[in-house]
A and B are shown apart, each in its own frame.
Chain A
Amino acid sequence: MELRILVYIISLLFWTSCSSEKEDYVPITENAKLEFTVPANFPEPSYNVTLNPPTEKGFELGKKLFYDGRLASDGVISCGFCHIQDFAFTHHTHIVSHGVNGALGTRNAQPLHNMAFMKEFTWDGAAIHLDLQPIIPITAEVEMNETFTGIIKKLEEQPEYVKLFAEAFEDQKINSDNMLKAISQFMIMMISANTKYDKVERNEGSVFTEQESAGLELFKSKCASCHQGTLFTDQSYRNNGLPIDPEYNDVGRKRVTGLEEDIYKFKVPSLRNIELTFPYMHDGRLKTLEDVLNHYSDGMVDSRTLDPIFKSQNNIKGIPMTTEEKQLIIAFLKTLTDDDFLNDDRFSEF
């Protein structure tokens, strides 16, 4: 009898000891790891997935945050407001980004795909890590114009968020680190690698048309030195000879480095899903792919930092292309559209 009581006491001791710090503990439901698979024709990711391995709950939380206007001061402008899935997460037909209270930004919202493979973010590389990128739109006055303190407060009032943060992260806390990690988990899963181009490259049975093949050959000789590799960008910053728009006088990469040699340079964008990410260029000034190729053949303006690649020996600027060649290149570029990605329910708001 006496022994039995003691056994109880000892068991109780085991259960209750060291529990002081875990009073707020919410029991964790199963949080399965998500498979992050690098497509066979892709390079190794730049994002260190082992430091923030995507999980079911982390991804769900990241997606909820991505589509939640609470991240903005007006409660309306979510990340998804300017990054719409149907257009490879760009702001369809909008020249520059739109923010709270009708504010206008100065640059075109970039597509979101294959973010895990990018080294730096935004048109000028102002974010050196994917986890840091959302700081820019969230805090920018002309975008979401909100404070992290304000967001955390709003999220803490929502039982759904309290639960999701607790399920997604070991420390169970609603804080800026977990918030940014969750958004990154959502974004790194956004891999677009199922285009016709990919299926040809991976020998999955697709074949280019004659036009597309001819377009690819032209692309290789005229575009691929900057739009390199399977990501279609060498991730460098270059001045591609756009005339300076006095309305913005955007200095480009110089804003980040302060270096004169970086003035008017912008990041070489990926060309995946390019058919849908119009309008084009950092300020959305060009409406169609024809306009873009016409710029490269005939529209370039010389300046101190114009990329040398565009200058020939005869001091002719640009990439010589005939109208037919442009049409073939565009036919090839359209093989970079990924319908599976654009319609993937995992990334959809509803």
Chain B
Amino acid sequence: MKNIIIIVFTILAITSCKDDDDVKVGSVNLNFNNSIENTSIIMNNTSYTNKSGETYTISQLKYIISNIVFIKANGEEFKYPTEKSYFLINEEVAESKTIELNTISEGEYTKIRFGIGVDQSKYPLHRTNNFIPTAQENEMLWSWSAGYIFLKFEGGYSVGGQENTDFKIHIGSHGTTLDNYKEVILDLPNTLNIKENATSRVVINADIAKIFDSVNTHSLSIKSDIQVDPENAPKIAENSATMFSAASINE
């Protein structure tokens, strides 16, 4: 009799809450470090020079990171739940620059993939609309449309010591005619080993200078106000997709 009872209890213990227990998970903090020439950027007071010879200061720098995926050497992917996978990085808010990801399956990962902006092909799936309050509070919704601003980069610039002029770069998708959502895949500098009850830290550098100078060169004298600009917005979006690199991993 007692044996049967013990067996019943054992079975219950093993089977109950099964889905919580059978996959071991760990955590990662992604630290976004917005820098220019390998130095963390300083807002407003520090001037930088782009390849068009224009000096600029930065007053606002925000972007949306989404759809985060960890990739193993054999190509196997761990997709972070899309619903929880929308983040706003705001240079002025220190906490926003650390993305805390929990419940990542244990394993050894060699690459990370993420999106810049919101993938409109996913509407209305995955409850992405729960990101609206965050986007609205951070002024990352176009005021006249139902779309997100993926990248907001503002400041002042001058050429040859002349008077300072404002620049404003707001990149997003233009209805269904132009999709400026970009995904990037980064090689990790060494293997990211996700272990149960452990939190790893991955530092991701964003070389902000590349917004102006990368695959495309953008001169602010030619256009300093880029909002729903079908010619320049896709070039800036392309540039911004090249600015990220995974710098280090701490376990």
A and B bound? yes
**Assembled-state Cα–Cα distance A170/B141 (Å):** 28
**B145: CB under 8 A from chain A?**
yes
Contact of A3 among B1, B12, B123 (CB under 8 A): B1
> Are B5 and A177 in touch, CB under 8 angstroms?
no
19 contacting pairs across A/B (C-beta < 8 A): A3-B1, A6-B5, A13-B16, A17-B16, A51-B124, A52-B124, A127-B145, A127-B146, A128-B175, A129-B123, A129-B146, A136-B145, A140-B143, A177-B129, A256-B174, A258-B178, A258-B228, A259-B177, A259-B230
Q: A18-B20, A131-B124 are in contact. Are A120 and B176 (CB under 8 A)?
A: yes
A331 to chain B, nearest CB (A): 37
**B43: CB under 8 A from chain A?**
no
> Are A139 and B177 in touch, CB under 8 angstroms?
no
Q: A139-B143, A257-B228 are in contact. Are A132 and B16 (CB under 8 A)?
A: no
Q: A139-B143, A149-B137, A259-B230 are in contact. Are A17 and B129 (CB under 8 A)?
A: no
Residues of chain B lying within 8 A (CB to CB) of residue A139: 136, 141, 143
Contact of B129 among A120, A147, A180, A259 (CB under 8 A): A180
Chain A residues 113 to 144 lying within 8 A of chain B, measured CB to CB, are 120-121, 125-129, 131-133, 135-136, 139-141
**A176: CB under 8 A from chain B?**
yes
> Are B175 and A147 in touch, CB under 8 angstroms?
no
A106 to chain B, nearest CB (A): 10
Closest to A19 in B: B17
> Are B17 and A18 in touch, CB under 8 angstroms?
yes
**Assembled-state Cα–Cα distance A13/B16 (Å):** 9
Could you tell me which B residues sit within 8 Å of A by CB distance? 1, 5, 8-9, 12, 16-17, 20, 120, 123-125, 127-130, 132-133, 136-137, 141-147, 174-178, 228-230, 233
Residues of chain A lying within 8 A (CB to CB) of residue B142: 126
**A285: CB under 8 A from chain B?**
no
Number of A interface residues, CB 8 Å? 38
Question: What 4 pairs between A and B have smallest CB-CB spacing?
Answer: A126-B145, A132-B146, A127-B146, A258-B228
**A242: CB under 8 A from chain B?**
no
A124 to chain B, nearest CB (A): 8
Could you tell me which A residues sit within 8 Å of B by CB distance? 3, 6, 10, 13-14, 17-18, 51-52, 120-121, 125-129, 131-133, 135-136, 139-141, 147-149, 152, 175-177, 180-181, 255-259
Closest to A132 in B: B146
**Assembled-state Cα–Cα distance A256/B228 (Å):** 7
Contact of B141 among A121, A131, A135 (CB under 8 A): A135
> Are A257 and B175 in touch, CB under 8 angstroms?
yes
Residues of chain A lying within 8 A (CB to CB) of residue B120: 128
Q: A131-B129, A149-B133, A255-B228 are in contact. Are A126 and B177 (CB under 8 A)?
A: no
Closest to A146 in B: B136
B109 to chain A, nearest CB (A): 27
Residues of chain B lying within 8 A (CB to CB) of residue A127: 145-146
Residues of chain B lying within 8 A (CB to CB) of residue A136: 144-146
Residues of chain A lying within 8 A (CB to CB) of residue B130: 175-177
Residues of chain B lying within 8 A (CB to CB) of residue A17: 12, 16-17
B61 to chain A, nearest CB (A): 23
Closest to A147 in B: B136
